[in-house]
Amino acid sequence: MQSFLIAETDKSFEVACTDLQSAVVTHHFGLMAVHDLGETLRVKNISFHENCRVFEVCNPQQAAKVLGFDMSLNMALPCRISVYTETGHTRIGMIRPVVLLSALSDHKGLMDVAQEVEASLAGIIEAAAASVSGSGGSCSGES
């Protein structure tokens, strides 16, 4: 299985960020924090020409299930979705929860939760990447 799920979109960086926030709510997740890595680097006088925002999102019911299997998995929460630019293209992506959690625990029931969360997050990414005309962004798995 590919480690990353990345969708390319024809939307601008700012529109993709706004649409991601809407998709998070629509899919019953909460937005916990947004980290603007590009701006942070530029403020520190580091030459960085791309844009990158990391959105920390959480579904409390699913998070409680994960923590019920193994409390130390709190270090893998909340889930993170990034909107970023690369060579003039806007992309939205995540590390797949199944890949991440399977590397940290071998609890059988945890993988069911990880698959549910991954499906929800993929839906969020696809909704945020979809073009205005509805043709959608292209998703790819990359490792």
pLDDT of residue 140: 61
SS3 for 14?
A: helix
Counting as low any pLDDT under 70, the low residues of the chain are: 132-143
pLDDT of residue 143: 46
- Report how far apart, in Å, the C-alpha atoms of 101 and of each of 18, 104, 105 are: 28, 5, 6
Strand order of the sheet with strand 30-36? 30-36, 52-58, 79-86, 89-95, 4-9, 138-142
pLDDT of residue 135: 45
DSSP classification of residue 27: T
Instruction: Say which CATH class 4-142 falls into.
Output: alpha beta
| Long-range pairs of 73-81 with CB within 8 A, sequence gap ≥ 24 | 73/101, 73/104, 73/105, 73/110, 76/100, 76/101, 76/104, 78/32, 79/29, 79/117, 79/121, 80/54, 80/55, 80/56, 81/20, 81/24, 81/54, 81/55, 81/57, 81/121, 81/124, 81/125
Sequence ranges of the domains in the chain: 4-142
